[in-house]
Structure 1
Amino acid sequence: MSVARGQYYNLNAVGGHIWRLLETPRSLDQIVTSLAEVYDAPEEKIRAEADAFLTRLKREGLLEIVVTDAP
């Protein structure tokens, strides 16, 4: 929920799963691997949808992407 913007965000099951994964910083590859272990879908589809979701979170100011040198 963003009080400043007056917006409420509702996540579906997969979005909620991704949100919980983000409690610890993770790469897109790590998120895709984790989702692929749970959901029966092609990895390419999981990656595309996860990337789109993360992009939307970033655009809405709900996610900060940090680039590190660590693997």
Structure 2
Amino acid sequence: MNNQQIALNDVFVQTKGNLVSNMDGEKVMMSIDTGKYYNLGSIGGRIWELLETPMSVESLIATLTSEYDIDAASCENHVVMFLQQLSKENLIQSGEGVKVNS
């Protein structure tokens, strides 16, 4: 998925093996596998929380636009870029094995 386009119906979930903590309203994370640290920020942290259970990109955008003052098009651009980064770092997984909970 790292080099592919992310579609609205793609489903993602957190990859296991990361330590996450809140620091001054922002989420920071360390990958157990790589030892890398990440500052997800406040909105990135919210996306991370939402991805605790499998969620489609479309649902992520709908949730974020209802919680923050952002239009859907801008939100989609930011969410897709963020998910691409998380995917590149193997912090999230997607694909056929990931199903949205009903």
TM-score for the superposition, normalised by structure 2: 0.62
Which of the two has greater helix per residue?
1
For CA contacts below 8 A with separation 6 or more, give which structure has more relative contact order: 2
Identity, % of aligned pairs?
Answer: 36
2:93 maps to 1:64? yes
Deviates more, 1:1-10 or 1:16-25: 1-10
Find the aligned partners of 1:2 and 1:16 in 2 and give their Cα distance: 15
Cα distance, 1:46 vs structure 2: 0.4
Aligned residue runs from structure 1 range 26-41, under 5 A? 26-41=55-70
Q: Give the aligned length.
A: 70
Which of the two has greater strand per residue?
2
1:46 corresponding residue in structure 2 = 75
- Unaligned stretches of 5+ residues in structure 2: 1-29
Letter matched to residue 38 of structure 1: E
Find the aligned partners of 1:66 and 1:23 in 2 and give their Cα distance: 16
Letter matched to residue 42 of structure 2: A
Moved over 6 A (4+): none
- Unaligned stretches of 5+ residues in structure 1: none
Find the aligned partners of 1:55 and 1:14 in 2 and give their Cα distance: 15
Change (3 A) 1:39 1:6: same
